[in-house]
Amino acid sequence: DRADRADRVDNARRRLSFKEQKELAELEARIERDERRQAEIETELVAGATDSQVVLRLYTERETLTARLAADLDRWAELAELI
């Protein structure tokens, strides 16, 4: 009985569709790019700490990146579970 259930669970796992594979690849690239940009922003914040306009622009960009990264990482985890 347990072996039958285990087989059914394994069979229930599916492969990613072409669209999901493409989405996963795009997510991975975007996550990598956004993480690199976040590191650049941190460096720029230190360098431009005396210019309030620069700090505000960078802070806003960092907040946007952080939110997008969180959503992208959640979706990446969902797709990775299907693999």
- Higher pLDDT among residues 12 and 26, named by residue: 26
Per-residue confidence (pLDDT) for residue 3, from 0 to 100 = 58
Per-residue confidence (pLDDT) for residue 11, from 0 to 100 = 47
DSSP letter assigned to residue 53: H
Q: What pTM value is reported for the model?
A: 0.77
* Burial class, 20, CB count within 10 angstroms (exposed 0-12 / middle 13-18 / buried 19+): middle
